[in-house]
Structure 1
Amino acid sequence: MNASDLPVANNTPVCYSIKSPPFNFNPSVTSIYFSAIFMALGLPSNLIAFIVLFKSFQRTCSRSRSFFLIFLGGLVVTDFMGLLVTGSIVVSFYVTHFNWRQIDPNCHFCNFMGMSMVFYGLCPLLLSATMAVERFIGINHPFARSTSMPKSRTVSMVLMVWLIAGCIALLPLTGLGSYHIQMPGSWCFFNISSEGKDMAFSLIFSLVGLVCIAVSFLLNTVSVVTLIKVCCGQDRTQRRRDHEVEMMVQLILIMIIASVCWCPLLINILMSVVTAASVTPEMLLFYIRMATWNQILDPWIYIMCQVSRLRSLSLKLCCLEGLSGSNTYCCGCALPPGTRS
């Protein structure tokens, strides 16, 4: 059914024209525990990751790494706000069991949540693709990027990504697609349909997400190959790029997590539109929960990489201490007392 092309009968708002609450709850499918656990895991993780990135940004001397950290900071802020905004609405519904038709007779609240779902869903994918483009240029064409480029340019790129995602999220309010209440009544999302304007928006959402993942995969693969050639070349001792390797490892992990979490939902939406197959509420809810794990797992990439760096630094310091004649064995250096280089 295509709600955006049909007149609203009996003065029923668009967001309730296909499914009208209240719905019958199915405890085996819907539960407050999913949303509560997601928020309990995701919000502190993203907050810790932001602190870690901020401290790294203050200490870094590498211009390329500072650019990369700004992108990561934008990704962390997006994930944090996405969990906070959407999770708060879902948890509030399960706690109070409020009636959508009473508190939101004109669909403003439902439209806001639908926009939030689309915006905070596309932002990580768009940011990952933008980061892949920036790393591709920085590694493969270092002279194409001016060494004097200000950090404000990177901030502007993050803001531009947010603007693009926001414009896409606003499309259903202009008539291209429509936001609807979704079973079990705790959230709103756009109408996945194979007809009319709803089909157009479904294609836009799924194709933008899949293209972002494909661009990230392609450019990251080329960047990794280039780094391998550089690090394993004849001049590898002078051309080591430890910070470049570290950034690529983080970017590859971000891409893998995004692909695993988002591809099932994006592919399912695309196939539903192409084949005109209906999407069951249970499967849609399952795919949404899979996508939510992206916002929870992303921050641990930065946290674990930072822990790994601190361990590497402490190992080097201990080894230097052993080489300088210390009588202690620390950090597994296993240097005999008095050993000199």
Structure 2
Amino acid sequence: MSNIAKYCDGNFTDTTPDLTVSSGFYIGLGIIGNLIALILLVKQSTFHKWKVFYRLVLTLVCVDFAGIVIFGVIGMIESPYSGMNWIDEGPLCKTESVLIAFISLTNILIVTFIAVERFLALWHPYSYSSIKGHPLIMLSPLVILISTVALASLSLTIGHYEKIYPCNFCFINIYSSRFMDYVFAFIYVIIGLILATVSIVMNILVTIALSRGQRGYSRQRESRIYISSDRRDYCGMLFQIVAILGILGVCWMPLMIKMLLTMVASDTSEEDMKDSFLFFRLARWALVADPWVYVLLRREIIVNVCFFFKRQEHPRMTSSGDIAERRSLVTAPDRDHNRTSYGTI
């Protein structure tokens, strides 16, 4: 029996249930953000025509939304207040652990795929334009889901899951000295670290390309274009890249590094368990932040929202007035067919 198992056997009844105000705020904010993002993606489908970027973002939003809802329900079931007796290696513990592994891997893999797509669009526009419509590329969300399901289910055969401090949820057993448990945990951590590193590097290269004004590829206009030199466009794109790097640097990289350090450590103290739990709590906020970064704070969304409220002030505005009003919310470079704006990359 590992240290964490011994700790939970003696302290589970004294742990604070995960039904706090902060948890309620997290679940509510996550459901609202992902639901609004999902509605906006569907309503704007005639505009983006479900190109690969938007398919990836849709998959990301759906997975994040499902993860928040499922973890909220499981958290209620696992709470001491529910009166249910859940144990290690039980169906509920295994289900929660597989779901956490699946959602975390899917999240970071989609984020990495989006970063690679942006890198190709800016640094290799000719190659990008030739492969963007390939069936395998268009089916990439399905490939990602199948791959992460297979990886998340791997521990059901080569390892096992266990309660994690503060003993009210289950995850990969990173404290075990058993060889097969170590193998699966190592696979999970290494894949996570590689994906997070690749995503960070790709986003940095995208930022460099934007700052240099390199030729890029506009998925909206299906043609080769120049990146807009308008400062507001550049600041908007830079804000999105910085937000993505922030999510990776705060939510995913610390967790993966901490898990790796815990695995190679000779012994694990209660303080180490508490530190690990802090990183788990930070990682789950990626599910809340994703829809805001990839959908809700994109420039075309903000422009449409401003246009909607302006239209409410003038309900009798004619169709020509609609067009003029919408154009007034878009900078001149955005109307130039040879340039692109925030959100097109």
Instruction: Identify the TM-score tier after normalising by the shorter chain.
Output: 0.7 to 0.9
The 1-side partners of 2:156 and 2:10 are apart by: 21
The 1-side partners of 2:78 and 2:176 are apart by: 30
Q: Are the counterparts in 2 of residues 261 and 291 from structure 1 also a CA contact under 8 Å?
A: yes
Aligned to 2:297: 304
Tell me the matched-pair count: 301
Q: Are the counterparts in 1 of residues 123 and 215 from structure 2 also a CA contact under 8 Å?
A: no
Q: Deviations over 1:257-312 (max 9, x none)?
A: 13211222211111111233416343333221111111111112221224433378
Q: Are the counterparts in 2 of residues 67 and 151 from structure 1 also a CA contact under 8 Å?
A: no
Gap regions ≥5 residues in structure 2: 217-224, 312-319, 332-345
Please say if 1:43 is aligned against 2:31: yes
Instruction: Decide whether aligned partners of structure 1 residues 57 and 152 sit closer, same or farther in structure 2, where only a CA change above 3 A counts.
Output: farther
Q: Are the counterparts in 2 of residues 49 and 76 from structure 1 also a CA contact under 8 Å?
A: yes
**Aligned partner letter, 2:164:** Q
The 2-side partners of 1:74 and 1:225 are apart by: 28
Gap regions ≥5 residues in structure 1: 4-14, 334-341
The 1-side partners of 2:54 and 2:23 are apart by: 29
Offset of residue 147 of structure 1:
4.6
Please say if 1:295 is aligned against 2:287: yes
The 2-side partners of 1:143 and 1:126 are apart by: 24
Please say if 1:100 is aligned against 2:86: yes
The 1-side partners of 2:96 and 2:15 are apart by: 22
Q: Deviations over 1:47-92 (max 9, x none)?
A: 101112223332237x8xx322111111101111111112210122
Please say if 1:54 is aligned against 2:36: no
Query: Structure 2 matches for 1:1-341, cutoff 5 A?
Result: 19-20=8-9, 23-27=12-16, 30-60=18-48, 66-94=51-79, 95-101=81-87, 107-147=90-130, 149-150=132-133, 153-175=136-158, 177-193=159-175, 195=177, 196-230=179-213, 239-240=226-227, 250-278=240-268, 280=270, 281-301=273-293, 302-305=295-298, 306-310=300-304
Aligned to 1:338: none
Q: Are the counterparts in 1 of residues 98 and 152 from structure 2 also a CA contact under 8 Å?
A: yes
Q: Deviations over 1:139-184 (max 9, x none)?
A: 2112213457548544421111122221221121112x31012344
* Matched position secondary structure for 2:163: strand
Offset of residue 229 of structure 1:
2.1
Instruction: Decide whether aligned partners of structure 1 residues 112 and 232 sit closer, same or farther in structure 2, where only a CA change above 3 A counts.
Output: closer
CA RMSD of aligned residues (A): 3.8
**Aligned partner letter, 1:138:** A
TM-score normalised according to structure 1 size: 0.74
Higher CA-based Rg: 1
* Matched position secondary structure for 2:139: helix
Instruction: Decide whether aligned partners of structure 1 residues 56 and 228 sit closer, same or farther in structure 2, where only a CA change above 3 A counts.
Output: farther
